[in-house]
Structure 1
Amino acid sequence: MEAKHVVITGAGSGLGSSLALKYSEMGHHVTLIGRTFSKLKKVSESIESDNVSIYTLDVSSNKEVRKVFSDIKEENGPVDILVNNAGVGVFDKAETISEDAVDQMIDINLKGTIFCTQAVLPDMKERNSGTIIQVISTAGLTGKVTESVYCASKFGARGFTESLVKEVADTDIHVLAAYMGGMKTNFWDDIYEEEEITHLMEPDDVADIILANVKPRKNLTVPEIVIKNHIN
């Protein structure tokens, strides 16, 4: 298998770190992106390879995204696979959720996905090759109580991704949308009771399903997958 350059946002924990480990085990160079260096460092130390890089980045800043992705390309080569996994959730009733929370979710979940995609797409088009995995969540498929703005950000990411699929339809660029339910990560610590969290999915299992469906196959492509747990 030819080694690829994989860039993963939100790589400091959960699904991002699981995908990083699995891609590394497949022999690829993995670039970890996140807001907290200590978390990224911990993930990098768990990878038994020298083919790993770390960059701290606020994906909601287009200026910062362009600068960091330019540095990534210069230091590690063009991006073959982008995993847009960075995300944040603040849950509250529609009439009481704060403006700061609204801005945070739209900026990271939607704008961050757009900005990072824009940073790699021109080069992928020039090479007529590449893969973009959009980690969106089942909140991009249906409305949920106390998740109105979170769902709005994810519905936006879904619309962007479905349109992107059509825009690259005549190229060899593969775009995969992953709509998955809750996983056993600290994302849910202040939302679900401990007993409920035990029923959530393992990030490693979700990562396996994503990797199985993004794998290139002759005469077919998988544009989206839905992975649900018992709570959803």
Structure 2
Amino acid sequence: MKNQVIVITGAGSGLGASLAKKYSEIGAHICLLGRTENKLKDIGRELPNNYSIHTVDISKLSDVKRVFDSITQTYGQIDLLFNNAGVGSFDLAEELSEEDIHNMIDTNLKGTIFCSQEVLKQMKKQNSGTIVNIVSTAGLIGKATESVYCASKFGVKGFTESLVVELTGTPISVFAAYMGGMNTDFWSGIFDQDKTSKMMNPDDIAEIIMDNIKPRKNIAIPEIIIKNVK
């Protein structure tokens, strides 16, 4: 991965930050994408190698186009995209606000689609690349108080599986990671520390994903499921 260009959405914390650090350690250039510049700067200061910061609202196609055009013009390629950014609001279906619903669908589903569209244009030109969609086990099974969050993630699952079919026979690969809850800021204000401390470590998840997307002769791994030990 040395000198490759890796784009990570939601890079300011959690799994995105873990992936950024681990790929930076092996010499990749990391493009840190997120809404909050200060959080991205904090992560950037922890990286041992080259990185760049790109503030973006992935729910807006014009903003996504702006950032991806800038990255390709500056670095000439994008080798790996992690669609990692996500938001969640959890309550009974009838209690979710219109804003919450739009936010989850726009960020989790539309954001993944918009970023994938833009990176595919470049990957098809360079005839190489990998897209990794961080989906969550909420994309596999319905859960109480997570109806719209699950709906957004089920949408990402369908989009990902369709991309796999579209790109069959090309040198571009698509990978989905379905994991349970991780001990990150995502759950701040939702679960207490006792519960989050029993969740998975994002560094462990990053290592598992990195190992599974390594190119191997005559092997394709389109998805993995990673669950908490109960």
Tell me the TM-score normalized by structure 1.
0.97
What does 1:142-181 correspond to in 2, within 5 Å? 142-181=141-180
When the two chains are superposed, the root-mean-square deviation of aligned CA atoms in Å is 1.0
Q: Give the whole-Å Cα distance in 2 for the aligned partners of 1:92 and 1:2.
A: 44
- Matched to 1:39, the amino acid is K
Instruction: State the SS of the aligned residue for 1:95.
Output: helix
Partner of 1:100: 99
Partner of 2:22: 22
1:35 corresponds to 2:66: no
> What whole-Å deviation, never above 9, does each CA across 1:153-199 have from its counterpart, x for those lacking one?
00000000000000001101111100011111111122222211111
Q: Which runs of 5+ in 1 are unaligned?
A: none
Q: Give the whole-Å Cα distance in 1 for the aligned partners of 2:2 and 2:42.
A: 27
Partner of 1:57: 56
Q: Give the whole-Å Cα distance in 2 for the aligned partners of 1:65 and 1:136.
A: 19
Indicate the percent of aligned positions where both proteins have the same amino acid.
Answer: 57
Q: Give the whole-Å Cα distance in 1 for the aligned partners of 2:39 and 2:192.
A: 25
Q: Give the whole-Å Cα distance in 2 for the aligned partners of 1:123 and 1:9.
A: 17
1:8 corresponds to 2:45: no
Instruction: State the SS of the aligned residue for 2:44.
Output: helix
What does 1:65-214 correspond to in 2, within 5 Å? 65-214=64-213
Instruction: State the SS of the aligned residue for 1:206.
Output: helix
Q: Give the whole-Å Cα distance in 1 for the aligned partners of 2:2 and 2:52.
A: 19
Give how far 1:96 is off. 1.2
Q: Which runs of 5+ in 2 are unaligned?
A: none
The count of corresponding residues between Structure 1 and Structure 2 is 230
Q: Give the whole-Å Cα distance in 2 for the aligned partners of 1:148 and 1:139.
A: 9
> What whole-Å deviation, never above 9, does each CA across 1:29-52 have from its counterpart, x for those lacking one?
110000000000000000112x10
Give how far 1:66 is off. 0.4
Q: Give the whole-Å Cα distance in 2 for the aligned partners of 1:35 and 1:76.
A: 21
Q: Give the whole-Å Cα distance in 1 for the aligned partners of 2:33 and 2:79.
A: 15
Tell me the TM-score normalized by structure 2.
0.98
Q: Give the whole-Å Cα distance in 2 for the aligned partners of 1:76 and 1:126.
A: 14
Runs of 4 or more consecutive aligned structure 1 residues displaced over 2 Å after TM superposition: none
Give how far 1:2 is off. 4.8
Instruction: State the SS of the aligned residue for 1:46.
Output: coil
Instruction: State the SS of the aligned residue for 1:31.
Output: strand
Q: Give the whole-Å Cα distance in 2 for the aligned partners of 1:136 and 1:26.
A: 25
